[in-house]
Amino acid sequence: MRFPSFLTLALSLTLCLSLPSIVCAQINPSCPTELDGDGTVGMTDLLIVLADFGTVCEPDPPPPSSWPVLHFSELHYNPATAQGSDADFEFLELHNPHAYSVDLSGWSLSEGLVFTFPDGASIEPGEYLVVAANAVTYSGLGYPVFDWGSGGLHNSGELLAIRAPDGTVVESVVYSDTGDWDTAPDGQGPSLERLFLDGDPHDAGQWTASISTGGSPGAVNSVWVD
């Protein structure tokens, strides 16, 4: 990340916050601002911009991605103490909604977690795939599991992104444990499950607590609506 560009973007967003919208538009005519659905422009919006557009906000939006979209379908960012440690039980789940297999060679997770899928990895049609803090915890249960290595999912929320091999962000999310976000997944037992595949994953209304403790790793969500 080039720090001066980050500062420039942060300044633009700050000006958009403090100036009338017409002035904001003149400063940065196509810079996305309110992105996480909370009605105000803040740090999470900035993080989304950085994930989706890099360190600068280009005047033209990026061309539509030719990569198949995969979805974040479940996040278990703060397992309950009764379940075990975050280092052993945290996971995130990806879903392939397509009728075809997606070759994950060179695909990666970025921002809050840094992980690149190994050559030959794939996600089958309609499949749920788990990437975990400790793959051993979720291995041998009938679904693909990968270990993200070091680091973990912040208990207060953070930005996560799925990137295609050329770096294109195919989906990102900034989850949270405040505001409109369900707080039960924050250490009380449930995971944070996606309700819908259509719509903005940054919207708290897209997510809710799983019915079961520990969620539904590698399987259809307990609260799935789609």
CB of 84 to Ca ion, least distance (A): 8
Binding Ca ion (rule: CB under 5 A), the pick from 36, 74, 171, 186 is 74
Fill in the amino acid letter for 10: A
Fill in the amino acid letter for 184: A
Q: What is the largest CA-CA distance in the chain?
A: 57
Per rule CB under 5 A, is residue 78 in the interface with Ca ion? Answer: yes
Q: Which segment (10-18, 60-68, 118-126, 179-187) binds Ca ion by CB under 5 A?
A: 179-187
Q: How far apart are CA 158 and CA 179, in angstroms?
A: 14
Could you tell me how many residues make up the chain? Answer: 226
Question: With the C-alpha atoms ordered 132, 50, 163, 222, is the resulting torsion angle positive or negative?
Answer: positive
Residues 116-155: x where in contact with Ca ion by CB under 5 A, - otherwise, as a string: ------------------------------------xx-x
CB of 28 to Ca ion, least distance (A): 34
Of 104, 115, 199, 122, the closest CA to residue 160 belongs to 115
Q: Which segment (129-137, 164-172, 195-203, 209-217) binds Ca ion by CB under 5 A?
A: 209-217
Question: In this complex, which beta carbon is closest to Ca ion, that of residue 9 or of residue 130?
Answer: 130
Query: Residue 151: left (phi > 0), alpha (psi -120 to 50), or beta?
Result: left
Which residues lie near Ca ion (CB under 5 A)? 74, 77-79, 86, 93, 152-153, 155, 187, 216, 221
